[in-house]
C-alpha cells in the first residue's frame, strides 16, 4: 500500500542549530515528492518539490531536501533554524500517473528554542 511516514511527531531544536526532518515513502514507482509547511491555523505553503533530475532540491526559506531512491526517503534540512521556522511540516507524495492525488504524512511539529 502507498504510504508516507514521518517518524518524528515533535522535534525541538535551538535557534541557530541545524535541522533534519525525516520522510520515508512506500510507493510503486518514484513519485513526485513535496514538503509543505503549515503555521498554526493556516493553510499549507509549499517549501520545495522533487520531480526529476538533481536529487538535492532547494526550496524557500533556506530549506533543502535530498531524494534518496535506495532509501525511499526525502528528508528536509536546514543548516540554521530561525525562531520563525516553528510550524508543522508535512511530506507528501504525488502520482506521476495523472490521478492528481497526494498522500500526506502525519506531520512533524517543530519547536524552536530561543
Partner 1 sequence: SQTIHQWPATLVQPVGSPLSLECTVEGTSNPNLYWYRQAAGRGLQLLFYSVGIGQISSEVPQNLSASRPQDRQFILSSKKLLLSDSGFYLCAWSVRGASYNEQFFGPGTRLTVL
Residues lying near partner 1 in the complex (CB under 8 A) are found at: 4, 32, 34, 36, 41-46, 49, 51, 90, 92, 94-95, 98, 100-102, 104-107
Nearer to partner 1 (CB atom), residue 4 or residue 112: 4
Query: CB of residue 105 vs partner 1: minimum separation in angstroms?
Result: 6
Contact criterion met (CB below 8 Å) for 5 and 58: no
Nearer to partner 1 (CB atom), residue 27 or residue 34: 34
Nearer to partner 1 (CB atom), residue 15 or residue 32: 32
C-alpha distances out from residue 14 to 7, 23, 87, 91, 114, Å = 20, 21, 14, 22, 6
Sorted by sequence, the CB contacts under 8 Å of residue 61 that are 6+ apart come out as 37, 47, 78, 85
Amino acid at each position: 500500500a502507498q504510504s508516507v511516514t514521518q517518524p518524528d511527531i515533535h522535534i525541538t531544536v535551538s535557534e541557530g542549530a541545524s535541522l533534519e526532518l525525516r520522510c520515508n515513502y512506500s510507493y510503486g514507482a518514484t513519485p513526485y515528492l513535496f514538503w509543505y509547511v503549515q503555521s498554526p491555523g493556516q493553510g499549507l505553503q509549499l517549501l520545495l518539490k522533487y520531480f526529476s533530475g538533481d536529487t538535492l532540491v532547494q526550496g524557500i526559506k533556506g530549506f533543502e531536501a535530498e531524494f534518496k531512491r535506495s532509501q525511499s526517503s526525502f528528508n528536509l534540512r536546514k543548516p540554521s533554524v530561525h525562531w520563525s521556522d516553528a510550524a508543522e511540516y508535512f511530506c507528501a507524495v504525488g502520482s506521476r500517473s495523472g490521478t492528481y492525488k497526494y498522500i500526506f504524512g502525519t506531520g512533524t511539529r517543530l519547536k524552536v528554542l530561543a
